[in-house]
Structure 1
Amino acid sequence: MAYKSTILITGGTSGLGYHAALDIARACPASQVILSSRSDKEQAAASINQALGQSNVVYAPLDLGDLAGVRAYAREFAAAQHAPLRALVLNAGLQFPGEVKTTVDGLEATFGINHVGHALLFHLLVPHLADNARVVVTSSGTHDPEQWSGMPPPIYASAEALAHPTPELAASHSGRQRYATSKLCNVLWTYALARRLSERCPQRGITVAALDPGLMPGTGLGREAGAAARFLFSQVMPRAIPVLRVLARTGNIHRPAESGAALARLAVGEEEEVRGVTGKYFEGRREIRSSRDSYDVEKQEELWRWTVGFLSGGDEEARRRFEELR
């Protein structure tokens, strides 16, 4: 079948991403929906196709913690001659509660996967974005110290300190704090990207927005945690969501299907509240202000410059390509 467009979702094989993919595939039967994650062996794609009686969902393996693998993925995407990308949903994310872990490229893994891998994927896929395409970044309310989240506040000194923390820094920052900081990076990068898209290629109409899906008991986010924490998050808390909302005094606790619908809406929804909207932050279906630090333009630019510099490896031609956003 010749599809009119393509929609790519990272982390689309489970939890939030799976439910978003299900809603997107249902709403866009004429688009090919690509689910990408480290490992799945096509079960999620087959499950969605069976549930909808369609065949427009496929699986493509992608490890965001391996930058050479991300580059290979982008080459394979180009070689497959997919229809233009209508939406790029940068949703995958991991949390490492214990000691510092690193990617194959030597980056602290939370920062490397949640930010750097996604940034590289975006830059490599820019030529394949359709006019008026949407880029959606899954962040988290944990990036905002003024919101209740139960997480340590993020600490952003520099991108280099996050990528290659010193032993002293690694010892003083917990894995949960590194996660919250990576989610702040998602919002900083969203705003830096939105500004560049508006300034350098406004004629293309590409938009970018960030989403806080809320706390979602039952997802695989905590799969790197200990056995007791995994059991609590996956088995106990999903059954207690109404109680949790009362105790936490927030409505921002959702089942994955609810947050998946909010993510799908940002990616392909036609409502006035999301169509053509760029450089904004949403909590579920509501546009809200993100954290104070996220509006710090110096932090946005520092993260952007470091990211482009690191990904280009000092090659000026590569740096120029990353910056052009053609």
Structure 2
Amino acid sequence: MQHTIVMTGASRGIGRIAAEHILRRSPDAHLLVVGRGSSGVRLAAELSAGGHAVSYVSADLGSLDSVRSAAVEIRERLERGELPPLRGFVGNAGMQYTNALTEGPDGFESTFAINVLANHLFVRLLQDRFVAPARIVITSSDTHFGDFKHNMGMVPGPVWKSPDVLARPGAFPKPDTAAGGRTAYSTSKLAAIYLVHEYARRLPAGVDAVAYNPGFVPGTGLARNAGPVSRFAMRRILPVMALTPFATGRNAAGRYLADVVLGATTAPTGSYVDRTRAARSSLESYDPRREGELWDTVERFTATCAA
């Protein structure tokens, strides 16, 4: 049956590979990619080669007004019958900055805006357009564990605070440093898992929500805002780690993401998928009080954009 899958973060890295797998393995899928400006046009044209059904909508994920406009456009296209029924949303776009001070147009810290608020706004504005069985997949990270086993000391663990504080620039110690930016990243990925748990509780039956962890994947575009030394290491040195058990190759991580999206990986709603299987996320990631507090806060932050 023809169906639509909406996807952010499909232009590079594991998202691009996952998008190619989805189109190859699910010929009935219409992939609607969310891209910024002309990049979305180019991406849709490249992915549609070979007769695949691909379209795009433009959005700046750091701007809630832009995300809202994109989600409303998708809703309208679904309602007019220009797109087949909505069966999936993949929130794969993610950003890591070299500080925790970068502020978006809405006054939110940009890591939190892109990694948390943008996904939430898409899910909430599209939730009544999903046709069961449907699956929402949010890309998380094992950096949320905060221990050496999962991040080899490269990323500080999350530092949870009131979501009102986390959403604003300067929430972490030494916010003007790379360590501050990485802490913002790991904390945003913990927040993503909290929201997946809330989606599992609140979304209609048949609309599943899953967090996907690709593991450490060298050579992606995640560090594109880092300094030249870090970018060189990510591109040229760290990819060698993909040959070891400590990292995941980009091609494998993209394939695993496609498996989750297409339901080839068994994962009940609310699951955390570690590469190829549902697993337990960190002990800290199971906290109904924090989950409810985060839900209330992001609902408030996005209310004016969801009206």
The TM-score with structure 2 as length reference comes to 0.90
Paired position in structure 2 for 1:68: 65
- How far 1:170 moved relative to its partner? 6.0
1:90 aligns with 2:91: yes
How far apart, CA to CA, are the structure 1 residues paired with 2:114 and 2:98? 15
Q: Does 1:241 align with 2:226?
A: no
State the 1:240 CA deviation. Answer: 4.4
Q: CA RMSD in A?
A: 2.1
Is the 8 Å Cα contact of residues 172 and 183 (structure 2) preserved in structure 1?
no
Mapped contact 1:213–1:263 kept (Cα < 8 A)? yes
| Worse overlay, 175-184 or 255-264 | 255-264
Q: Is the CA contact (8 Å cut-off) linking 1:37 and 1:92 kept in structure 2?
A: no
Could you tell me how far 1:303 is from its partner in structure 2? 0.4
Cα offset, 1:88, TM superposition: 0.4
Note the C-alpha offset of 1:32: 0.7
Paired residue for 2:271?
280
Q: Deviations over 1:28-79 (max 9, x none)?
A: 11221012132514333333333xx223122322211111111111221122
SS in 2 for 1:290: coil
What is the number of equivalent residue pairs in this alignment?
Answer: 297
- Find the aligned partners of 1:7 and 1:227 in 2 and give their Cα distance: 35
Provide the residue aligned with 1:138 in structure 2: 139
- Cα gap change, 1:42 to 1:236, in 2 (>3 Å): farther
State the match for 1:322 in structure 2.
none
Opposite residue 220 of structure 1, the aligned amino acid is G
Q: Secondary structure at the match of 2:175?
A: helix
* Residue 252 (structure 2) pairs with residue 258 (structure 1): yes
Q: Is the 8 A contact 1:194 1:208 kept in 2?
A: yes
Counterpart in the other structure of 1:158: 162
- Distance across 1 between alignment mates of 2:237 and 2:185: 23
Rounded Cα–Cα distance in structure 2 between residues aligned with 1:168 and 1:252: 28
What are the Cα deviations for residues 186-245 of structure 1, in whole angstroms up to 9, with x where unaligned?
101111111122xxx33xx11011011011111100000011111110122224422xx3
Within 5 Å, give how 1:1-326 maps onto structure 2: 4-39=2-37, 40-50=39-49, 53-81=50-78, 82-146=83-147, 147-149=149-151, 150=153, 151-165=155-169, 171=175, 174-197=180-203, 201-202=204-205, 205-242=206-243, 245=244, 251-270=245-264, 273-274=266-267, 277-313=268-304, 318=307
**Structure 1 unaligned residues grouped into runs of 5+:** 246-250, 319-326
Q: For each residue in 1:256-307, what CA deviation from the matched residue of structure 2 results, as whole angstroms up to 9, or x when unmatched? A: 2111111111111345x23xx1111011002111011110111111100101
**CA contact 1:70–1:120 (8 Å) conserved in 2:** yes
CA distance in structure 2 between the aligned counterparts of 1:41 and 1:190, rounded to whole angstroms: 27
In 2: Cα distance, 1:158 partner to 1:213 partner:
27
In the superposition, relative to structure 1, how do residues 171 and 48 fare at CA in structure 2: closer, same or farther (>3 Å)?
Answer: closer
Distance 1:209 1:227, change over 3 A: same
Q: Which amino acid aligns with 1:148?
A: H
Q: Percent identity?
A: 35
Cα gap change, 1:294 to 1:85, in 2 (>3 Å): same
Question: Is there any run of 5+ residues in structure 2 with no aligned partner, and where?
Answer: none
* Cα deviation, residue 166, structure 1: 5.1
What's the CA shift string for 1:57-105, capped at 9, x where partnerless? Answer: 2232221111111111122112223222111001100000235101110
> Contact 1:86–1:129 at 8 Å: present in 2 too?
yes
The separation in 2 between residues aligned to 1:73 and 1:142, in whole angstroms, is 30
Q: Structure 1's 239 and 47: CA in aligned 2 closer, same or farther, altered over 3 A? A: farther
The letter for the 1-side match of 2:10 is G
SS in 2 for 1:26: helix
Misfit runs of 4+, over 6 Å = none
- State the distance in 1 between where 2:248 and 2:169 align: 33
Q: CA offset at residue 121 of structure 1?
A: 1.0
For residue 171 of structure 1, give the secondary structure of its aligned residue in structure 2.
coil
SS at match of 1:63: coil
SS at match of 1:54: coil
Is residue 87–residue 130 contact of structure 2 (8 Å, CA) maintained in 1? yes
Tell me the amino acid that sits aligned with residue 298 of structure 2. T
Q: Note closer, same or farther for the CA distance 1:306–1:47 as it changes in structure 2 (3 Å cut).
A: same
- Retained in 2: the 8 A contact 1:5–1:83? yes
